[in-house]
Amino acid sequence: MAVQKSRKTPSKRGMHRSHDGLARPALSVDPTSGETHLRHRITPDGFYRGKKVIEIREKPDAE
């Protein structure tokens, strides 16, 4: 089994963990509807870069 020669110092431990933080998602605002969405993805209304690219169907009532 591999055994370390000496303990890792708190500074080195922190440097090792420096890239473990979570990044916030990049959000964009659609110019047509003003809705916030993830970058490079269509809005829930079906708009992308100010143009309607997909028709969204209404959900039928579950009765």
Residue 33 located in a structural domain:
yes
Residue 1 located in a structural domain:
no
Residue 12 near residue 21 (C-beta atoms within 8 A): no
Structure tokens at 31: 């110019």
Alpha helices in 1-63 (DSSP H): 10-16
Q: Is the pTM of this model over 0.95?
A: no
Residue 36 located in a structural domain:
yes
The domain of 41 spans 25-55
Residue 42 located in a structural domain:
yes
Residue 63 located in a structural domain:
no
pLDDT band at 51 (very low <50, low <70, confident <90, very high): confident
pLDDT band at 63 (very low <50, low <70, confident <90, very high): low
Number of domains in the chain: 1
